[in-house]
Structure 1
Amino acid sequence: MTGGHRFWPSVTKAMLWAFLCAMGLLVIYPLFWMGLGGFKSNSQIFSDPFALPESWSFANYLTAWQATQGYMVSSLLVTLISTLTTVTISAWTAFGLTRTEIPGKPLVVGIVLGGMMLSPTVALVPLVRMLQDYGIYDTHAALILLYTAFRVPFTTFLIRAYMLDLPRDLDEAAMMDGASPGQIFRKVILPLCQPILISCVVLHILFAWNEYLFAMIFTNSPGVQTLPVGLTSMMSKQGTNFAAVFAAMTISALPIVIIFFLTQRYFIRGLTQGIGK
């Protein structure tokens, strides 16, 4: 009887591990294959696509880097600044919606969170006209403004859900010590919200780094266009050089993979504690 009770949990655990390993291979193998493709020649990609490279040459990666480095700088600039503005505005908004008394708070919460229901594609035409009128069309500022505006509602939703469960005794203790609302926000609330803030940073980086629709429509100059648009341009120019295209795609994906692995512990904890509340 005891052996039977131990057998089925062991089988279940083994099946779970087998399933997780299979899913891991399903996700990792295309990335691995793409990275190896950057070391191959076109002839080897077509003749033996699943074999290891015949020679480990970085020539394709050098070609890809020279073709995409300008787009990479634009992506870094837009991603970093929009991440900072989005998380900062969202954290302040969430603090105001959870720790302060304002008239009509439920209505304000509904308006802020209702922004998540606005489809970017519906607003494309008026946004083009608006940015042209303001004189910021085809600039980095246009993308930073759009990325911030369309991501603040979702980021506010995540941070607000996390802040709702923080004990208010900390706020009251800080107020008794003479702390202002700004000091409470910076020195008490933000340190406690570190997991969800890191989760929001990672989510916004994933969005801004890979966003294509706004970057294609609201930019025309190569010096302003971001990496997804640059990869499309490179594929149109070097459509037959698949090895260089694979190398460029690997360079594009590598920063995101590194960031996720470095922050995955905080990322998962922040989302589970925030959304699960």
Structure 2
Amino acid sequence: MSTVTDDATFTGPRTEDLAALLVAGERPPRPSALSASLTFGWRAMLKIKHVPEQLFDVTAFPIMMVLMYAYLFGGALAGSVSEYIQFLLPGILTLSVVMITMYTGVSVNTDITKGVFDRFRTLPIWRPAPMVGYLLGDVVRYLIASAVMLAVGLLIGYRPHGGVVGVLAGVLLLLVFSFAFSWIWTMFGLMLRSEKSVMGVSMMVIFPLTFLSNIFVDPRTMPGWLQAFVNNSPVTHLATAVRELMAGNWPAADIAWSLGWSALFVVVFGAVTMRLYNRR
């Protein structure tokens, strides 16, 4: 018994037909820089949804920091917790949010290890969009940490004399600085080979920069040589600006210094980050 195959009954698309179809159809418009960045920012939010343990460092960690330092040092440094919390809370808020920024570099390094960045590089989008998306997603984390710490501070006696406007202005300045500061960690995330390396280097940078500042005590109690470093630290300017804004004052010099440092971080480390990203 023979089988006869009729070529007319089995015809696949020819190469010429496919080419004509692809050329004739309109391509979707290229996404704008803002749209692409927001999309990658939303991706960062979805990662938190699937791994909610990532919120530990913006919920439990800030609560622990406020309570631990307030009750450990409040009586010794100011006579009572209620007195010390007025000075401490804006500073510890600055410390916690600045420390959280290091996880941006860890996220970048993780995606590189998994090969996700290779896919991003093939997309017809604005080149910095993946990096900006990481930072935008982390801004939401900074907001959560700020809200948690302010709530705990209010419960144990903190009273911002600047009211809602002063608090919002202080938090906004902190978010701007943290967004800019995070570019340092994106650079390390691209340079270093593993998450542990990123964490180790980040700790070596963040701990001296944050603890050698006016977050916990007035620098006037420090040795003269240490005051010279502390008074010119970007974290000191930021903590002072946040503290004064929440107290109802307008520290123009410290605000200007904080914004100037922010611009410097974006210009220098943003450029280095994108150069490394394009060369990978």
Shared fold (TM-score, shorter chain, > 0.5): no
More contact order relative to length (CA 8 Å, sep ≥ 6): 1
Larger-Rg structure: 2
